[in-house]
Chains A and B, each alone.
Chain A
Amino acid sequence: MNVRKRSRSALRLAVLAFFIFLVLFIYSSLNLMNVDLGYRQHELLRTEAELRLEIDALRARRAGLLSLERTERIALQELGYQYPAAGQIIKVVEAVRER
């Protein structure tokens, strides 16, 4: 009888210990996950900010490369082009063509 009682109380203790362990395990796992998510979230935000800065830098570079000042310099100095003299640009009027 005593042995039975003892084994039942030991089982209760074991179950209790298991639940305590389980609760602690879940609690600590969640905390660890939380910390890990914090790392990842910050890393992603940092990457996003870096990408935004890179996009801005590329946009600025593109604008600089396409700037009219640069285009004019290349055309005049490197390619030897000249501005057209008066009367050299001819724009054909569509309305006349249609007639």
Chain B
Amino acid sequence: MSANRKGKQRFFALSVFFLIWILAIVFRLFSMQVLDYTTYMAKIRAQTHRVEELHSKRGTITDRNGEILAISLQSKSAFISNKDGAHALAVFKKFCALLPISGVQKVAISKRIRRGEKFVWLKRKLTDEEYLKVKPLAADAWTAGTIAFLDEYRRVYPQGQLASHVLGGVGIDEQALGGIETSLDHEIKGRGGRLKVLIDARKRIFQFKYLEQPVPGRDIHLSIAAPLQFFVERELAAVVARYQAAGGAVIVMDSRSGQVLAMASCPGYDPETIWNTPLPVLKNKAISFLYDPGSTFKVVLAASALENRICGRQETFNCHNGVYAVRDRQITDVHPFARLSFDDVFVQSSNIGAAQVGMRLGSDRYFATIGRFGFGRRTGIRLPAEENGILNPPHKWSGVSLAFLSFGYEIAVTPLQMAAAFNVPAAGGFLVRPQILRDGATDVGGERVLSASGSEQLGEIMTAVVSRGTGKKAQVAGLEIAGKTGTAHKIKAGRYAGSYVSSFGGFFPARDPRVTLFVVIDEPQGLYFGGDVAAPAFRAIAEKIMLHLGILPGPPAVSEVRL
């Protein structure tokens, strides 16, 4: 009996114990699931839910044939997570042994580690070779917690310095620092997104949802032709070196569409190290170099005179044997002439003849033509830092301004403005806006600024400049070229100094223009006339263009063309 009772008591005690135990579990579960629901849910979310920032990749920039000029590649950036200064310094030393870092950087990084900064960049945007060298550090037990790598995009320019001024470059954080990278930055950079993910204990993603869809940067196709750009840059650099010039610029345009096939500015730079490049080198001389155009501007004078029919083309002008005074200023010609016909004023590039044509034309009509040819305002090409040029209205002109403006002084232009103006007779009298993107207009458009007959006559005069005038050194066997030379004093500190800007512009084939080309050489030493310095460069580039575009004379008089 007693044993039975004891057994019952034990059973009862055990039951109570289990009941309490079960109640405790139920209460704990209730507390976790109901009372502290939000706290525990937040903890779970923190462990399993994550929002990932998705970085957008900058668009690729290609030339007109799809050759890559700029592309973003994923790369690793190394950093130190600084929990223990002494250990971090030791790890940094090991890193330096594998991947040499400049002395200045070494000191700066060591200082930051000693200061106790928790996150210190070691080297950003490693190349593949560099990453392979230091990758084992992330797996090594001694260094793993201290050194780590982050994914970042690295902008790569596989063609080196090619078209550097057109492309520009980006900074360490992919911020645009010039060229097309800047002007089309809003399209190239795209927009980052956000991804909400659920991760398991092994940190593997098993569910995700885009909170914001990333928009990749748009690919840009330039109008530039890489092979032409290469030859143009080579030729420009050779001329600049030959004449120890301060620099130069060349623009090659498709005469019909205005698409820029090559745009070179010397000196060039490496876009991948744009932040190390001095500011004057970064300047794209083709659009930012302001200069007095000199005799190349006589093309605009001739256009205005022809359009306003101020004289016949055979009418002669008194050239005063090379010296002529307008008020208190003297105008001289390099070669003295007694009288020259209207055509020969331009063919022989007489300043005195041009001044007389200009004075007969009058300031209002001439100013109107200059404005219509696009001077005094940007061409609108989609590149940053394009200059307007300087063009004063007639009411600000002095008594000699009209005469001097007739041969290209008292006005400041950019090489691109000159190229666009030289393209007017090539495009049948239309001012075509230069374009740097391939997918723009493909045929003649723009505003008519010169009649068809005026355009034809101007083309004839410019052809004579090359065949029998100052531009003979631009001649290419078997190719008829229309052009004009220019040599202008350069303004330094507000005064015309003893240095010059030599230029030559033109288009070819003269009767069916396909290409307009403008060459400017800044401060050549020794020879400085446009006909001696810029014209031969024009010829050399024109020969390459002939080969590249397959431009050959119509019915040829010769069986072969030697280039």
Residue of A nearest to B229 (CB): A68
> With contacts A57-B73, A63-B68, A93-B556 known, is A68 near B562, CB below 8 A?
no
Interchain CB contact under 8 A, A96 and B563: no
Contact partners of B561 in chain A: CB under 8 A: 90-91, 93
- List A5-39 residues whose CB lies under 8 Å from chain B: 35, 38-39
Complex CA distance for A29 and B555, rounded to whole angstroms:
81
Q: Check B208–A42 contact: CB distance below 8 A.
A: yes
| CB <8 Å contact, B560 and A92 | yes
Q: In the assembly, what is the distance between CA of A57 and CA of B127, in Å? A: 11
Asked if A48 is at the interface (CB within 8 A of a chain B CB), the reply is no
Residues of A within 8 A of B478 (CB): 93
- Are B547 and A89 in contact, CB atoms less than 8 angstroms apart? yes
Interface centre among A56, A88, A92 (most CB of B within 10 A): A56
CB-CB under 8 A for A63 and B552, given A90-B562, A92-B560, A93-B559: no
Question: Which of B199-207, B300-308, B414-422, B462-470 faces chain A?
Answer: B199-207
In the assembled complex, the Cα of A82 lies from the Cα of B156 at a distance in Å of 30
B206 close to A35 (CB less than 8 A): yes
Residues of chain A contacted by B158 (CB below 8 angstroms): 60-61, 63-64, 67
Q: Does chain B have a CB within 8 A of A74?
A: no
B546 to chain A, nearest CB (A): 8
B contact residues around A3 at 8 Å (CB): none
User: Cβ of B552: which chain A residues have Cβ within 8 Å of it?
Assistant: 91, 93-94
A71 to chain B, nearest CB (A): 9
Chain B nearest CB from A80 CB (Å) reads: 18
Task: Compute how far the CA of A19 lies from the CA of B65 in the bound complex, rounded to whole angstroms.
Answer: 66
B73, A53: Cβ atoms under 8 Å? yes
Question: Which residues of A have CB within 8 Å of B160?
Answer: 67, 69
Residues of B within 8 A of A96 (CB): 556, 558-560
Decide if A53 touches B208 in the complex (CB within 8 Å).
no
**Interface residue? B226 (CB, 8 A):** yes
B171 at the interface (CB under 8 A from A): no
CA distance A39 to B197 in the complex (A): 11
A79 at the interface (CB under 8 A from B): no
- Min CB distance B480 to A, Å, is 14
Check if B226 sits within 8 Å of A68, measured CB to CB: yes
CA distance A57 to B67 in the complex (A): 14
The answer to whether B562 and A87 have CB atoms under 8 Å apart is: yes
Cross-chain contact B230 with A93 (CB below 8 angstroms): no
Closest to A57 in B: B73
B553, CB-defined interface residue at 8 Å? yes
Contacts of B381 in A (CB 8 A): none
Do residues A67 and B206 form an inter-chain contact, with CB atoms below 8 A? no
Give the size of the chain B interface in residues (CB under 8 angstroms): 39
Which single member of A41, A60, A93, A95 contacts B73 (CB below 8 Å)? A60
Is A86's CB within 8 Å of the partner chain B?
yes
By a CB distance below 8 angstroms, the chain B residues around A38 are 198, 205-208
Over the window 49-84 of chain A, the binary record of Cβ atoms lying under 8 Å from chain B Cβ atoms (1 yes, 0 no) is 000010011011101101111001000000000000
A73 to B13, CA, bound (A): 95
CB–CB A63/B159 < 8 A = yes
B72 within 8 A of A: yes
**Given contacts A59-B71, A60-B68, A67-B159, are A91 and B547 in contact (CB under 8 A)?**
yes
Which residues of B are found within 8 Å of A89, using beta-carbon distances?
543, 547, 562-563
* Complex CA–CA separation, A56 to B560 (angstroms): 44
On whether the beta carbons of B230 and A68 are closer than 8 Å, the reply is yes
Selected from B128, B156, B162, B556, the residue in CB contact (under 8 A) with A69 is: B162
Residue of B nearest to A87 (CB): B562
- CB-defined contacts of B71 to chain A, threshold 8 Å: 56, 59-60, 63
Give chain A residues whose Cβ lies under 8 Å from the Cβ of B74: 53, 56-57
Beta-carbon contact of B159 and A93 below 8 Å = no
Asked if residues B72 and A56 are in contact (CB atoms below 8 Å), the reply is yes
Separation in Å of the A77 CB from the closest CB of chain B?
15
Contact yes or no, A90 B560, CB < 8 A: yes
The chain B residue sitting closest to A92, CB to CB, is: B560
Q: Given A56-B71, A69-B160 in contact, is the A92-B230 Cβ separation under 8 Å?
A: no
Asked whether any CB of chain A lies closer than 8 Å to the CB of B499, the reply is no
In the complex, the answer to whether A91 meets B73 with C-beta atoms within 8 Å is no
CB of B161 within 8 A of chain A?
A: yes
Q: B227 on the interface (CB 8 Å rule)?
A: yes
In the bound complex, CA of A88 to CA of B547 (Å): 13
Looking at B162, B226, B234, B559, which has the most chain A CB atoms within 10 Å of its CB?
B559
B residues near A95, Cβ cutoff 8 Å: 555-556
Alpha-carbon distance A95/B227, docked complex (angstroms): 27
Residues of A within 8 A of B73 (CB): 53, 56-57, 60
Closest 5 CB pairs of A and B: A63-B158, A64-B158, A63-B68, A38-B206, A68-B230
Chain B contact residues, CB within 8 Å of chain A: 60, 67-68, 71-74, 128, 156, 158-162, 197-198, 204-208, 226-227, 230, 234, 478, 543, 546-547, 552-553, 555-556, 558-563
Give 19 A-B pairs besides A69-B160, A91-B563, A96-B556 with Cβ atoms closer than 8 angstroms: A38-B198, A56-B60, A56-B73, A57-B73, A59-B68, A60-B68, A60-B73, A61-B158, A67-B159, A67-B160, A67-B162, A68-B226, A89-B562, A90-B561, A90-B562, A91-B552, A93-B552, A95-B555, A95-B556
What are 29 A-B contacts defined by CB distance under 8 Å? A38-B208, A42-B205, A56-B60, A57-B73, A59-B68, A60-B71, A60-B156, A63-B71, A63-B158, A64-B158, A68-B162, A68-B226, A68-B230, A69-B159, A69-B160, A69-B162, A72-B230, A88-B562, A89-B543, A89-B547, A91-B546, A91-B547, A93-B478, A93-B553, A93-B558, A93-B559, A95-B555, A95-B556, A96-B558
